[in-house]
Structures are given as structure tokens and as C-alpha cells.
Amino acid sequence: MYPNLLLPLLGLVGAALLVLLAVALRQPVVRRLAVRQVARRRTEAALVITGSMLGTAIIVGALVVGDTLDFSVRQEAYRTLGPVDERIVATAADGPTIAARLQPLTADPQVDGVLSGEVAQAAAASTAGGRPAAEPRVLAWQLDLDAAGGFGAAGSDPGLAGPTPPPGQVVLNEPLAHALRVGSGQLVTVYLYGQPADFTVARVVPDQGLAGTGLGGRVNRNVFLPAGALDAAARAAGAQPQSVTMVSNRGGVESGEKLTDAVTAGIRTALGQDAGGAAVDTPKHTVLRAAEQTGAALGALFLMIGSFSIIAGALLLVNIFVMLGEERKPQLGMLRAVGLKRSRLVGAFTLEGTLYALAAALPGVALGIGVGWVVALVSAQIFRSWSTGGSGLDIAFAVSPTSLLNGAALGLLIAVAAVAATSVRISRFNVIAAIRDLPAAAARRPRRRRAAVFGALAVLCAVAAVPAVARSQAEQTYLLPALAVAFAVPAARLVWPRRVVTSTAAALVLVWTLAASVVRPGIFDTPSMAVYVIIGTLASFSGVVLVSENQLLLLRPLRPLMNRPTQQGLATRLAAAYPLAKRFRTGSTLVMYTLVVLVLVLLTEISGILNTGIDRSVADATAGYTLRVDYNPQAGQDPLADLTGPARAGQITAVTPLLNARGLATDPGHRTAQPLETAVVGVPDGAATGIAFQERLPGLADDRAVWDALAAHPEYVVLDGFFGATGGPAGKFYAPGDTLTLTDPLTGAGERKTIAGVLNSGLAFYPGNGTSAAVYPLIESARGAAAQFGPQALTAGALVRTAPGTSPDALAPELQGSHLNASLVATPIATDVHRLFAADTAFFRLMQGFLALGLLIGITGLGVVMVRAVRERRRTIGVLRALGCQARTVERAFLWESCFVALEGTVLGCLLGVLTTWLMYQKSSAFAGLNGGFPIEWGAIGLLAAVTFAASLLAALGPARHAARIRPALAVRVPD
């Protein structure tokens, strides 16, 4: 992923490594200091490498997820298109003429082949093995398979090799053979235009290239008929099959796509005056563009989720190096006393950290590939459950060298930057105090010059924040005011005490982070993922700073226990003393916990909101209807006559026919200039007035008014909130009043349409016949659809309301079996909603699992702090033990200390997570239409807190027991 970032990242890494290499070569003392510490401190080296490795693994894992999704969508081009780059679909009457006009393209040097044939929607059944099986979604093709074998680039496999089947035999592709449970030599019944015809299966071919091709579906169940079989069935039914001509560009599956524009222009020139009788599609270009968008959007989503863990990993590195600096303080003081410059001290620490980061790069990449593989494995199950009739996206694991290099480079840069910044902080100390190992002096008030510079920056940020907030620019609205407050701190400290200034600044940033969406309600109407990282980071850091500065106040309830003259009271005092004395490392650990727990709680709450709103979503999607039926209007039989007849009176109470047509629409959200595949649905006047809207055109008072306006004004249409969506976080791209152009792909006639409303749910209007993979429903009046699309608009579906006591799930297969000859597909709408919600919940669980790596980093960070605390306080422990403090008290003190940090970070993360989600629920358009209320998932949050707390205890148990076993005499005499 992100090939555009590869050269900049490699350039930055190369520059950083060259600078450090120059330092190592030109300054032998710095080099020896760094290498010696790496060799002497193997435990610290292992901890730093682990932290850097986890950060790199999370980055690589997110990028690998994007690679996998991109590759999986691209595989559709290989499976359902192969050599097919352009597809020309003609009206039945114009089919032979169009095919003849396109044959001269075979002489075009940019074209590898032209193949014409006919196709019709059909159904199939079999009784192989004594068990009946049926498939209503079948495409029956009449192709010259001998010609198909040479279609495309010379020497390539078009996917449909072999002779055309003789009369009485057919060729099936694997998805259809699997659905019917048949193989070569077995009988199948194919329903052509409603009439059954028996055939023997000549062979079964893989669904690759021409054998997997269709009219836009992800999974196409194809039967290839003998020569003339489809024409004979069409004549008997008084119909004509659809004419399809496929063009293969010069080159392979993906390289040929680059010639799409040039070849398409040649096709239109060849069609000449007959261009109005054919629709020219560029399916491969559409699929490959969708692959890039899907992979980038979902990969960026996982990278956004993983960024919180990456921040936690960087904080772990900072914490470790701060503790290393504390431990080496006397040594560093001696080095400075004998003349070592502070810049060389920074260089030594940075070089040491870089060696750790380089050692972590390859293991981090390997672990990231493993993480990406696990995510891909789980994603495959989720995407299958999102699909209808097995037409979901097949996930195929893939890794690109670009992603591995990007991940390794980014992980290395983050580690080096964290270590370099920490090294600058470590190098600032009083030489005499460091040599004598005295506590650091109290912080001095900032110098006036420094305060003036930061004050000027605060003013600049505040001025820049005004237009950003006025325009609801999401990232700037959060960042600029927060930066203004932070830059104002040095100047404020010239007047007020540090604790007052820091607490006030942290409180202001926290309040603004939580309240910005109240001040600017449209701030969440953005597809940007960076804004969520900014919100989580600002809330966590400001909350932790506020808590850290007021720990004494928070610990006041424990004073009665701490003041007891008992071993238990002593343990409590010891447990609180160290975190209070080491505020920086305590705060860093708290941020790790708070940041990750906040996002885990946020994902838990979002999942809970979705599940709470299931009933409301079902009501919005159905408006009393329980089934959506789709069928083949050219089958010669009308299933609606049966559905509305007396035989079904006890099962069905209402049937609303839907007019269907295929259209192309411009994106009203202006996200792409490419036309969007659109399923145009014509609704009879007054038939769907119960279906609700989340937004309406100004002046339309209620939902019924929108449907009345749709009936009265043919230029009005309604959409759902996912029209043109490509994945990633929801944003508000269009609203009632916006316009789009709807085009009939056969005639090229376009009409300007105005959005009259945005549906709460448009699920009932998505086609369920499996013939289209990524279409977006556009609903207008039946009269408007008929006027624009003419004979192309056919009644091919209906909404059905079942009688009380009739199960839609039981009725659906019964209807499909009764009307198999019409290729009828019945979809229970409520079941579809529940299936989608279950898949959404599983997806959130997947993201929580991915984020759990960050929690592992936080727990590791706590364990590191406790290990270092035992080593730093070895002499203190020895003195306490010599004065009579029991070993159990020492162990208890260390355990309670870890409990104190873990509990505080977990509780703070839970509170901020619930509050942030509630504000998003109130203000974000992503939750529009989810009116089930805001639940607090006590059980899930409690389980998360309990698991975090237990894991933290386990991480601290080893260091605590080690501290309890320290021998007083040795500890007092031996400093390390």
C-alpha cells in the first residue's frame, strides 16, 4: 500500500541512518558508549526491541490488510473478466447489427480480440444423488467456445478452452456445478424463458476469465449452451436474447486496462450511428478502481485503529529510555564532568536506540505479516456473511514488497524519533546532582524569552483556529485550539504556579476535545480518519495530565488506610509513593492504558448502539414489508399473479410491484468522476409511504410528503446514505437538494435529478438476484422511470407483506421453488438486516482484536516499569527489610502499585470512551437513523476492565516476588 510514500520514507530513513553512521564513524567515544550499553544491558535491549517490534508489527499488519483487500478485489478482474476489458450490451433487436459493426476492431493493434454472443437470465435444477437442488440465479450463454479459446492475448488462457458442447450437452462453471451438486455426465434442467430443457453436463470449468464472466456480478453461475439452443428457446417464447460483445485490449489482465480509454473511443467510433442502441461498459476499469479504493479505505481504517497502538509503542520506548537515563545518571554525570558534550550524549543514546530499532525491524515485519494473515482469515468469514447468495468477496491473502518496506521504514522512523526526542530530555541534568545521584531539582519557572516565543505561537494558533472552527474543518478544529492552549503554558507559568497552569490547560483541552462537536455539529461529517486519532490522543493525554497533576486529591479517600500504623498501611503508602514521585513514567504508562482502553470501549459502544438499533433498523428497512422478490420478467410467466392470487391470500396481504432498470449516475458527493452503476427502482405512487427518511428536502414536513413529492415530480429521487460509498468511516457527502445526472446506458439519454430525501435504510431496494456486485439503488416514481428508460424499465421485483403468523423465512424458499422457471429470488428483509448487523458486530470484534495489541503494549509497559522500579529501589527495599518490613509487605506494595496505575488508566479510558461515543452518537451523521438509544455496555466494558486488570497483575507478579526475595544485607551493600 501507499507506493507514493515509499520513496519519501526510504529517503528519510536513509538520511537518518547516514547521519547516525557519520556520528558513529567520526566520534569513536559515542560509538563505543552506544555499543557497550547494548552489549551490557541485554534485558533492556530485549525490552526496547520488543516495544519497537510491536509498533512495526502493527503498522505492517495494517498495510498487509490493505494489500489483501486490494488483491482480493483485483482477483475479481481475473475471475469474472479475465481478458474482457470492454463489454457492449445491445438491445435485443440491435444485437446482430452491433456485433457486425464491432468485428473490424479485430484489426486494431490495441485490441487482442472481439467475441460476440447472447445471454439470458435463467434458472437450473438437478436431482443428482437423489437430492433435488436448484439455483434461480443463472446466466445462460450462447458462445462459440472454439472462438473463445483464442480470445485475448496470444498464448494466454481465456478461461474457456474446449469445444462448443454438442446438442443435448452443456458446459457449467464451478459455482453453478457446486450449487447443483453435479459433475460431468450428470443431468441438469435449465429453465430458458420459463421452459425446462434437460441437458447432460459435458464438462465443468473453473470460474476464471470467460467461464466466470457475467454482467457485473461477483460470483456468476454460468451455463454454456449448444449452438442455437438459446435462439430456439427465445423464438419459442417470442423473445430475443440479450446481445453481448466482449473486447480484449492488448496485454494481460491488468496491463490491458491501461488502454481502456483509447479502445472505448474506438468502439464508439465503430458503432457510429448505432451507438444509441448499445451500452459500452468498462467493467475491468471499474473493478480495478474499486480494488484500489476498497484496499486503501479499509487498510487506512486498520491503520487508524492501529495508530493508537503505535502511539502506545512509542511511549513504551520513551519510558524505557527515560528509565535507562535515570539508572545511568551517575555515569552520565561523570561523562559530562570529564568534558563530554551534551550533543554527543544525545548522539550516543540515539545511536543505541537505532541499533535496537534496526534489530526489531525484521522480527516486526515478520510478526506484522502474521497479524495481517490472521486479520485476513477472520475477514474472509465476515465478508462471506455480508454477502447474499454466496456472492461475497473472496479474501485471498497477499503481501506487497511496498507495504513491507513502508511498514519497516515507518516503524524505524517512529522508534528513532522517539529515542532522539527522549535523549534530548535525558541529557538535560545537573552534573553535580547526577554524580551524587541526588533527586532532580524542582522545575524552574520558564525563561521570559522562551515564554515570549511560545506565547507568540499560541496567538498564531488561536488566530488560525478561528476560520478553521467557523468552517468545521475537523482536524484543525481540534488541533489548533489545543496547540494554542499548550503553547500558552510557559507564559502562564510566569504568573501562576505550575500545578494550577498545567491542570487548567489540560482541563481546557479535554473540555474542547469533548465539546467541539457540540459547538460545531457538522464536524463529524467527514470521511477523514485522522480526526478520530486526534480526538482519542487529545482526550487521553489531557485526561492523564489532569489526573497526574491532581493525584493527591484523587488519593484522599485512601488516607485513612495509608495512615494506619500497620504493615498494610505501610504497603499502601509505598504503593502510592513511587507513582507520585515518578510522574513522567507513571503518566506515560497511564496514557498507554487510557488511549487503548478508550478506543476499545468506543468500539464496544458502537457495536452496542448498532445491536440496540436492530429493531428500529428492521422497521426502517421494511416499513411493514417482509420480503423482497426479484425475478426474470422475460421468463414468460408473471409470479406476481400467483402472489396476489387467492391461493396465497392466507400468506400474503400486500404486493407492491417495482419497476427496475439499469442506470448510470454521477456521484452527488463528487468523490469520483466515474459513473456509478445504479439500480433504478420505480415505486408506484403512494405504495411506500411508510418507509422513513433521515433527511428531507426543506419544505417537506414528513416522510409521506417526500413520497408525494416523488409521485408529483419526475425529477425527484431518493437515495440511502451509502450511495457511492467505498468503505472507511461514514461522512456526509450529499444532502436533500443536491443534484445528480441519471443516464440510460443504452440510449445515452441523461436527466438531471434532485435528491428529495435520504432514506434511513434502503436495504429493501437493493437487488437480490445476484447479477450486480456494487450497485446503488436510486428510487424514483414508476412513471419517472418508465418515461426515461422506456422499454428497458421492466417490472422485475416486488415488495411483499406477509400475513400475521406466516414466517417470511419459511415462505421465501417455497416461493423460489414454485417459481424457479421465472428465476425468482425471495429475500427476507428482516433476516437480511440481522445478518448485516451480525457481520458488522463481527467486524468491530476484529478491530478490537487488532487494537488489543496496543493493550499488550500497555501491559508490557507496566511490567517494564515494575522491573525497573525493583532495580532502582533495590537499596531502599533492603533498608526497609532491615528495619523490619515483611517480605509480604514489599510484595503487596509492588502489586498494589501496579494495580493503582492499571486501575486508574483503565477507569479513565472507560469514562472517556463512553463519553466520546455518546457525543459521536449525538452529533455524527454515521449514527443517523439509529434511534434505539445509547446503551452502556456494562458487561462488555466490565469484562474488558477485568481482563486488563488481571493481565496487569500477572505482569507485575514476577517483579513483586523478586522484590520480596531481595536479601537486605546484599541490597544495602550492592547498588545493582
DSSP assignment of 789-847: HGGG-EEEEEEEEEPTT--HHHHHHHHHHHTGGGT-EEEEHHHHHHHHHHHHHHHHHHH
Same domain, 735 and 802: yes
Q: Which domain-ending residue is among 233, 264, 281?
A: 281
Dist CA 959 CA 800 (whole Å) = 66
In sequence order, the β-bridge partners of residue 794 are 660
Predicted local distance difference test score (pLDDT) of residue 753: 95
Q: What is the pTM of this model?
A: 0.80
Nearest to 597 by CA among 223, 138, 908, 949: 908
For residue 767, the SS3 value is coil
Q: 318 and 265 in one domain? A: no
Whole-number pLDDT of residue 730: 55
Judge whether 217 lies within some domain: yes
Same domain, 338 and 275: no
682 in any annotated domain: yes
Give the Cα separation of 416 and 349 in Å (integer): 10
- Phi and psi, residue 776, nearest 5°: -120, 125
Residue 241 in 3-state DSSP? coil
> What is the reported pLDDT for 445?
61
User: What region, left, alpha or beta, does residue 638 occupy, with left being phi > 0 and alpha being psi -120 to 50 degrees?
Assistant: beta
pLDDT at residue 772, as a whole number: 47
At residue 215, φ and ψ (nearest 5 deg) are: -115, 30
Task: For residue 451, tell me if it sits in a domain.
Answer: no
> Are 139 and 109 in a shared domain?
yes
Q: Is residue 474 part of a domain?
A: no
Query: Does 685 map to a domain?
Result: yes
CA 255/CA 959 separation, integer angstroms: 59
pLDDT at 774: 63
Pair 270, 314 in one domain? no
Report if residue 573 sits inside a domain.
no
Q: Are 249 and 125 members of one domain?
A: yes
Tell me, yes or no, whether 333 and 407 share the same domain. Answer: yes
Position 651 scores a pLDDT of 92
pLDDT of residue 769: 55
Q: Which sign does the torsion angle of CA 9, 13, 18, 20 carry?
A: positive
Residue 100 and residue 41 share a domain: no
Indicate the number of domains in the chain. Answer: 3
363 part of a folded domain: yes
The C-alpha cell 439455483 sits at 135
Tell me whether residue 815 is in a domain. Answer: yes
414-424 burial by CB neighbour count: b if 16+ within 10 A, else e? bbbbbbbbbbe
Q: Are residues 179 and 228 in the same domain?
A: yes
Q: Decide which of 440, 456, 487 is a domain's last residue.
A: 440
The pLDDT value recorded for residue 509 is 95
Domain end residue (candidates: 412, 440, 468) = 440
Are residues 164 and 304 located together in one domain of the fold? Answer: no
Domain range for 782: 615-835
State the Cα–Cα distance between residues 716 and 698, nearest whole angstrom.
Answer: 13
Q: Same domain for 625 and 716?
A: yes
Residues 104 and 227 in one domain: yes
CB contact set of 727 (below 8 Å; sequence gap of 6+): 293, 294, 297, 298, 301
Interatomic CA distance for residues 779 and 678, integer angstroms: 10
Low-confidence ranges of the chain (pLDDT < 50): 771-773, 976
The CA-to-CA distance between both ends of the chain, in Å, stands at: 47
